[in-house]
């Protein structure tokens, strides 16, 4: 009886999900990622479109956070939404992370679908108890009586020149928590399809954006322009096929990995680049399938090295049958194990770049020239 009552709380939104065309039916469409139709979009606009479309579709979706309304978003991701949906649904909060993250969770428990924007995920550390304990665990602790459909989103990872306290990648932190889903998109298509999926998901989703990608334009397929474009959370995407070595990256590191693959192509090295898209669930099957083909694996991330996303991928490969296919040790490319320095020359040494990734890929192939 209880769980049925709880079900009715999310039923309206769920029925929307079911009513949407099946993902399988749409998959061929978004595989044809190329831009024949000539559409392109910035990451910022893709995120904005995702929220706009979902707010249009479902009255219970609303946005709260610092500067999301009148200021149009600290990074302008929520631009125009106040004008369209009004102050009821685009809510400026005080600077009070723990408080408004708790409010977002409470609103989700009571039947709404909040999108909780953190100006950056660095500030969400003040609210991490609500993300982990209040949002991530309530469904389990209640024996399935109380779902918590909330999205926590905002820029994550290092920006440029903002120093130690504003430059951390939290993928590994949230990726550890059962009950949360964690998404780290790269392209505009990723952002649109995955944010829409996150908003419709009946579980709490941590959606990790990257400030330096906001202004970057990506091609958009015809399917991705549709207001029903959803990407499945938990599936990685092979961005570039290759047969010599597998590179797994997420967020901005996908850009650098693709650039490295371009560089190495000139030497005849065929790099397969996997865009993780989702940190939790982690699509290890796609990585394993690629490793079985290339026999070599390099992970790339902007986060600290210890206990990171690369560490986890490495461990899961070692634990799996894919281990037997490896012809070289797995290589990890990560941020350096230091707080992020301010000076440009030092900061450059704190994060992977294209040249470094190319160097490590070569090493994994036992080629140093």
Partner 1 sequence: MASLARLGPRLAQRRLAPFASRRLQTAADSTQLHQDTPSDGAEPFTVRLHEDSFRGYLTDAPSLDAEVTKDGLFKMYREMTTMRRMEQAADALYKAKLIRGFCHLAIGQEALAVGLESEITKEDLVITAYRCHPFAVLRGGTITGVLGELLGRQVGMSNGKGGSMHIFTERFFGGNGIVGAQVPVGAGISFAQKYLERPSATFAMYGDGASNQGQIFEAYNMAKLWNLPCVFVCENNKYGMGTSAERSSSNTEYYTRGDKIPGIQANGMDIIATAKAVKYARDWVLAGKGPLLLEFVTYRYGGHSMSDPGTTYRTREEVQRMRSTQDPIRGLQRYIEEWGVATADELKKIDKEAKAVVDAAVEEAKASPEPLLKDLWSDVYYPGTEPEYLRGREREEVHYY
Measured from the CB atom, the residue of 42 and 145 that comes closer to partner 1 is 145
Q: How far is the CB of 100 from partner 1 (least distance, A)?
A: 7
Q: How far is the CB of 98 from partner 1 (least distance, A)?
A: 4
Q: How far is the CB of 112 from partner 1 (least distance, A)?
A: 5
What DSSP string runs through 221-255? -HHHHSTT----TT--EEEE--SSEEEEE-THHHH
Measured from the CB atom, the residue of 94 and 268 that comes closer to partner 1 is 94
Q: How far is the CB of 15 from partner 1 (least distance, A)?
A: 12
Measured from the CB atom, the residue of 130 and 252 that comes closer to partner 1 is 130
Cβ-based burial of 183 (10 A; exposed 0-12, middle 13-18, buried ≥19): buried
Which residues are identified as catalytic? 97, 166
Q: Which residue has the tokens 């941020």?
A: 335
CA distance linking residue 98 with residue 104, whole number of Å = 10
Measured from the CB atom, the residue of 148 and 333 that comes closer to partner 1 is 148
What DSSP string runs through 71-90? T--TTSTTTTHHHHHHHHHE
DSSP summary character for residue 134: I
Measured from the CB atom, the residue of 116 and 271 that comes closer to partner 1 is 116
Contacts to partner 1 by CB under 8 A:
2, 5-6, 9-10, 60, 62, 88, 91, 93-94, 96, 98-112, 114, 129-130, 133-134, 138-147, 178-179, 181, 201-203, 234, 280-281, 285, 319-320
Between CA 68 and CA 73, with CA 69 as vertex, the angle to 5 degrees is 35
CA distance linking residue 154 with residue 225, whole number of Å = 22
| First CA to last CA distance, the chain | 68
What DSSP string runs through 24-66? HHHHHHHH--S-TT-EEEEHHHHHHHHHHHHHHH-TTEEEEET
Q: How far is the CB of 173 from partner 1 (least distance, A)?
A: 17
């Amino acid at each position: 009886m209880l769980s049925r009552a709880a079900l009715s709380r999310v039923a309206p939104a769920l029925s929307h999900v079911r009513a949407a065309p099946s993902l399988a039916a749409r998959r061929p469409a978004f595989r044809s990622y190329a831009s024949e139709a000539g559409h392109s979009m910035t990451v910022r606009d893709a995120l904005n479109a995702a929220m706009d479309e979902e707010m249009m579709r479902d009255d219970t979706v609303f946005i709260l956070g610092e500067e999301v309304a009148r200021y149009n978003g600290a990074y302008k991701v929520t631009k125009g939404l106040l004008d369209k949906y009004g102050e009821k649904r685009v809510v400026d909060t005080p600077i009070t992370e723990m408080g408004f993250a708790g409010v977002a969770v409470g609103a989700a428990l009571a039947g709404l679908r909040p999108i909780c924007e953190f100006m950056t995920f660095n500030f969400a550390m003040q609210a991490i108890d609500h993300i982990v304990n209040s949002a991530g665990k309530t469904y389990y602790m209640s024996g399935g009586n109380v779902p918590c459909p909330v999205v926590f989103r905002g820029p994550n990872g290092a920006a440029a020149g903002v120093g130690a306290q504003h430059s951390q990648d939290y993928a590994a932190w949230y990726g550890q928590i059962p009950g949360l889903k964690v998404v780290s998109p790269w392209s505009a298509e990723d952002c649109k399809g995955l944010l829409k999926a996150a908003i419709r998901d009946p579980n709490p989703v941590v959606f990790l954006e990257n400030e330096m990608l906001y202004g970057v334009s990506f091609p958009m397929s015809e399917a991705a322009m549709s207001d029903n474009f959803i990407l499945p959370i938990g599936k990685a995407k092979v961005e570039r096929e290759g047969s010599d070595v597998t590179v797994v990256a997420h967020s901005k590191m996908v850009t650098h990995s693709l650039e490295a693959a371009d560089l190495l192509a000139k030497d005849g090295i065929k790099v397969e680049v996997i865009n993780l898209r989702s940190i939790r669930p982690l699509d290890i099957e796609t990585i394993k399938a690629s490793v079985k083909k290339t026999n070599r694996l390099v992970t790339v991330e902007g986060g600290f090295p210890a206990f990171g996303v690369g560490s986890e991928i490495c461990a899961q490969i070692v634990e799996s049958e894919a281990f037997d296919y490896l012809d070289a040790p797995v290589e990890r490319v990560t941020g350096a194990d230091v707080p992020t320095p301010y000076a440009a020359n030092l900061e450059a040494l704190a994060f992977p770049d294209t040249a470094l990734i190319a160097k490590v890929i070569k090493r994994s192939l036992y080629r140093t020239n």
